[in-house]
Amino acid sequence: MTKRLENKKLAVVTGGAGFVGSHLCERLAKDGWRVISLDNYFTGSKENHVPGVEYREGHTKDIEKYISEMPDIIYHLGEYARVEQSVLEPDVVEDLNTRGTEGVLAFWKRNRCKLVYAGSSTKFGDNLDSPYARTKKENTEKVRAVGDAERLPYAITYFYNGYGPRERSGVYGTLIEHFKRMYLSGAPCAVVRPGTQERNFTHVLDLVDGLVAVGERGEGDEYGLGNEKAYSIREVAELFGFGDNVVMFPTRPGNRMTADLDTTKTRKLGWSAGRSLEEYIRSFVEEHPRGKQRDKRVLVFSTTFAPVSGLAEDAFTELARAVPEVEFAIVTTRFSRDAAHTPPPAPNITLHRIGFGAPFDKFLLPLLGPFVGFILWSKHRYLFAWGLMASYAALAGFFFKTVVGAPFLITLADQNIDDLTLLRRALFSILLSRADQVYGTHGAQEATAMRVAGKTLPRNSLGEGDAFANALRFAYADIVRKAQEQS
C-alpha cells in the first residue's frame, strides 16, 4: 500500500464509467479531488470518460489488485442495477453484487476510510422478488454491520430512478431513455401493466449533488436521493405525447407499484432535488421532432409452428395473445399435413408456410424462407426480424438479413446447446455472428452459448425498433422461464 497523497484527497469511484458514476467522477474532479474510477464496463462505457479522472478496468471483487493507493473516500456505485432483467440472470447479479461488494468491503476495512454505498430504493418498495433487490438489501446490511463493528465511517444512499445525460438504452437502460428512443424512432411506446405504477424520477445531477453532500457530511443509513414528485408510467408516456400509440405489456417479476421516499436525513444536509422531469421531457420534445410512426409489426422466422410446436413456439403464442396490438408475420414450415387445416393460434398471428407437409420442410426453410421474408418486408414497415431459435429458422433469417440488411434478433428460448456436433457448433457460431442481437432465457444458457460459439453474444442495436424490441424480447424470455420452472 502507498500512503495517501498530502496535497489532494483521493476518491475511488466504482462504476465510474457508468451513468451516475461518470457524473460523480466529473464533479469530484472539478472540486479538486484526485479521482480513480474502477469499472469492468459491464454497463459502463469508455464514451463516458471525463477529463481529470484515472480509469482502471477490472472487477470490484479484485479491487485490491487494481488500486494500491489509500483513498480518503470510496463511492461504491459499481453493481448490477436492473431489477427486472436480474430475474433472467441471477448468476451475473451474484457475481457483480455479492462477490464484487465483498471485495470492496475488504478493501474498505483495510484502508480505514469512509465508504458511501449506493443502496437501492427497491428496499422500500412493495416487491423484493428479484435477485437485484435481494442482493442490494443484503449488501446494505453488510455495509452497516462492517461499519459498526469496525467503527468505520460510512453512509448509505438510495437512488430513485435516475435520468439525464449519458443514460443508456438496451437491456440495462433506463425507462426515460427507452421512451426517448421510442419517441425518436416512431416506434410504439412499450408500457408494462398496469401502467399506474409510480416512480420518483430524479435528475442525475441532483443525485450527484446528494452523493457529494452525503460524502462530505453524511453518517449512517437512510439517505434518500429522490424527487418528491412521483409520476405513473402512463403519465410519463403522456408527457412524451405518445397518445394512443402505446402497447401494454405483461406484468414483470420484481416490478413494484410504489416506493416510500424519505429524504429527511438528506435534506438536513441542505440537499433537495430541484430539477423537473416535466421540464426535461418538454425540452427534449421541443428540440427533437418525433419519428414517423411505425407499424406495430414484427417479422418472425420459426422452424415449426402450430400444429407442431414446442415450448418456444407455445411461449411465443402466449406473448402474441398478451400484446394483441402487435401483428406478427411468421415465416415457417408446413411440417405436418395437419398444418393446412390449422388456423393461427392467435388473431394477430399470420402464418406463411413453406414446404409440403413433412419434416423435410425444415431443410427448405433456409432456401425459400428468405424470399417469403423479402416479399413481406417490401410490403410492410416491420420493426425488426426475429428468429425464435438458432436453428433452420435462424439460418433463413441469416440469408434474409444478408440480402435485405434488416435488423435481426435471435432468441435461444429453451434450446439445448451443450451437445451440438462440431458442424452444428460451426453453424451456430456463424448464425450468432450475423445476428444483431442474441439473447438466452437466462445467464447460464448465454454463458454456454458464448463458450460453444467461442465469442461474446452480439448486442448491437436493432435500429429504430430497438427499445420496443427489447420489451418484446424480455416478455418472451419471462414466459419461457416460467414455463421451464413449471415443467
In single-letter form, the type of residue at position 336 comes to: S
Cell of 164: 439525464
Residue 282 shares a structural domain with residue 337: no
Per-residue pLDDT of 376-411, as tens digits, reads: 999 998 999 999 999 999 999 999 999 999 999 999
Residue where a domain terminates, one of 287, 313, 329: 287
The number of domains in the chain is: 2
- Cα–Cα distance, 70 to 68 (Å, whole number): 7
If asked whether residues 136 and 231 sit together in one domain, one would say yes
The CATH number of the domain where 68 resides is what?
A: 3.40.50.720
Distance of CA 261 to the CA centre of its chain: 24
Query: Does residue 5 lie within any of the structural domains?
Result: no
2 has a pLDDT exceeding 50 = no
Q: What average pLDDT score do residues 297-302 get?
A: 97
| Residue 151: predicted pLDDT | 97
Q: Distance between CA atoms of 56 and 54, rounded to whole angstroms?
A: 7
Does residue 16 sit in the same domain as residue 161? yes
pLDDT score of 172: 80
- The grid coordinates of residue 482 equal 416460467
Q: Do residues 157 and 245 share a domain?
A: yes
* Whether the predicted pLDDT of 258 surpasses 70: yes
- Smallest CA-to-CA distance from 481 within 94, 218, 89, 193 is with 89
On the question of pLDDT at 428 being above 80, the answer is yes
Instruction: Mention every residue, 6+ apart, whose C-beta is less than 8 A from residue 398.
Output: 366, 408, 430, 431, 434, 435
Q: The pTM is what? A: 0.90
Mean pLDDT of 213-222: 97
Give the residue with greater pLDDT, 171 vs 412. Answer: 412
pLDDT at 1 over 50: no
Would you say the C-alpha torsion 278, 280, 286, 292 has a positive or negative sign? negative
Looking at residue 259, its pLDDT comes to 67
- For the segment 217-231, the average pLDDT, to the nearest whole number, is 96
Q: What is the pLDDT of residues 142-181, one digit of tens each?
A: 999 999 999 999 999 999 999 999 998 877 889 999 999 9
93 inside domain: yes
* 138 vs 129, higher pLDDT: 138
Is 485 inside a domain boundary? no
User: Which of 251, 266, 287 finishes a domain?
Assistant: 287
- Is residue 200's pLDDT more than 90? yes
Looking at the chain, the whole-number percentage of residues with pLDDT higher than 70 is 97
Domain extent, residue 438, equals 297-479
Strands (E), 107-217: 114-120, 154-159, 162-163, 189-192, 198-199, 202-203
Instruction: Write the CB contacts of 95 (distance below 8 Å, at least 6 apart in sequence).
Output: 61
Amino acid residing at 11: A
Q: Quote the CA–CA distance of 120 and 438 in Å, as a whole number.
A: 29
Question: Any idea of the CA torsion for 132, 137, 142, 148, to the nearest 10 degrees?
Answer: 150
Name which residue leads in pLDDT, 155 or 466: 155
pLDDT at 449 over 50: yes
